[in-house]
Structure 1
C-alpha cells in the first residue's frame, strides 16, 4: 500500500470513529423524541411510582405492596444483607449480566465488558430496596392508574427467569436475579425501562438507548 493510500485509509478510519458516536447520539435523540402512547395523561389519583436515573442507567421504583402486588413474593428480603430495615419501595432495572456483576463502580469499568454487552449478553435484573425514597431531579415521581400499575408490575415480574438465581449486589440493600432476554445495542437497560412503561400504556419515547431519552418524558419533581 502506497503512503498516499495509507494516509487516505487512516483519514477515513478516523472520520468513521468520529462519525459513529455522533450518528448514534443523533438517532438516539430523534428516536427518544418520538412518543409512544402520545395521548397518555397522568391521572389525578392512582399509584405513585418513580423513575430513577444516575446519569447512565435508569430504574423503575415501586411500592413494595400496591394494587394487590407484593414484590416480596418475587424478591425475598432475605436475599439482601440488610433485610431487617423497614423498606417501603423496590427499584428494578435490567442490564447485561457480565457488565452488571463486574462493574460495581466506574473505577471497575473495563472496555471489554462494555463491548461484550453492546454486541450481546445475557440479561440480569437488579433490585434495590429503599426506605421512603425522596423525589429529586434524577428521582422523579410519576402517577399512573391502578390498571397501568398492575400491567407494569406483571410485565416486570415476567422478566425474571424461571427459577431465577440470585447474585450478591453492590451493597447491603441490593441484589441481582437472572432474567429473560438478551442485552445488545438495540435493547439497552434504558430501552428496557421505556419498554416496560410503554407496555403499561404510559407515555415514553420510542427508542431510548440513553437515560436522557427516558427522563425527558418524566416531569421533574
Structure 2
C-alpha cells in the first residue's frame, strides 16, 4: 500500500511553497525595479547653468515634485487654492509639493510605520481611485531626502503640463479635494490607474521624463528617482 500523506504535513508543504513563491516574486520585482531605475532615459540631458529650480523629495514611501507656487510662467494658485487647506495661511508658502498615487495607500501610509501588507497588496493589484497629494511648503533645503534640479523654461512647461493633466476635472471644473494629513496639505481626485508597475514613484519619474530630464526608464521606488540627482 502507498504511504499515507498526513494532511497537516501536506498543508505545511503547500504553505511553504506558496511563501517561497511569494518571496521569489518580490525579489524579482525588486530586481526589475532597481534595473529599470538604473537604465537612463533622456541620456543626453544636462542640467543648465540657470533656469527654474525645482526639487524632488521623498518621505521614504512617496516622492513628490516641489515647484515654485508662482514662477517659470506658471501660477499654481488657480488650481491649488487656500480654501483647500484646513489652515489657509499655509498657502502663503512659496512652494507646493505634488505627488500622485493610490487613494487608500496615500491616505493610510504617510510614513513606513503606517504601511500594512494588505494595503500594499490591494494597491499593487490595481486601483482606479487615484489622488494628487499637495503640500504647501517653504522652499526646501537639499539633504538626503531632497534633490535640486534646474530646468530650462521649455522643460518646466512640459513638466507643469504633465502635472496639470494628472488632476481629474470634469467639464473644465477644478478637481474635488479633501483635507490632508495636517493643516498644510490636501488631496485631489486624479487621473490614471495605480498598480505595482505604475506606482507613485513611477509617476514622479514619468513626469521628469516627460519634461526631458535624464532619469530611469522605470522608477517604482524612491531611491530609483532620487538616485539620479546630486
2:89 is matched with which residue: 81, 84, 91? 84
Deviations 1:71-102 (A, max 9, x none): 11111122112322431000000010122223
Q: Which has the larger radius of gyration?
A: 2
Contact 2:86 2:179 in 1 (8 A): no
Separation in 1 of the partners of 2:43 and 2:96?
27
**Secondary structure of the corresponding residue to residue 49 of structure 2:** coil
Separation in 2 of the partners of 1:17 and 1:148?
41
Task: List, as ranges, runs of 4+ consecutive aligned residues in structure 1 with deviation greater than 6 Å.
Answer: none
Contact 2:177 2:186 in 1 (8 A): yes
Q: TM-score, normalised by structure 1?
A: 0.92
Deviations 1:128-175 (A, max 9, x none): 011232221211111111110011011101111013100110011000
- 1:186 counterpart = 2:193: no
- 1:126 counterpart = 2:145: no
1:127 is displaced (CA, Å) by: 0.2
2:188 aligned residue: 177
**Secondary structure of the corresponding residue to residue 130 of structure 2:** strand
- 1:112 counterpart = 2:118: yes
2:5 aligned residue: 2
**Secondary structure of the corresponding residue to residue 177 of structure 1:** strand
**Secondary structure of the corresponding residue to residue 163 of structure 2:** helix
Separation in 2 of the partners of 1:125 and 1:84?
20
- 1:23 counterpart = 2:34: no
- 1:71 counterpart = 2:76: yes
Gaps of 5+ in 1: none
Separation in 2 of the partners of 1:216 and 1:161?
30
Separation in 2 of the partners of 1:69 and 1:13?
51
1:48 is matched with which residue: 45, 48, 53? 53
Q: Which is richer in strand? A: 1
1:99 aligned residue: 105
Q: CA RMSD in A?
A: 1.8
Cα 1:150–1:113 shift into 2, 3 Å: same
Deviations 1:3-22 (A, max 9, x none): 47656544432321321221
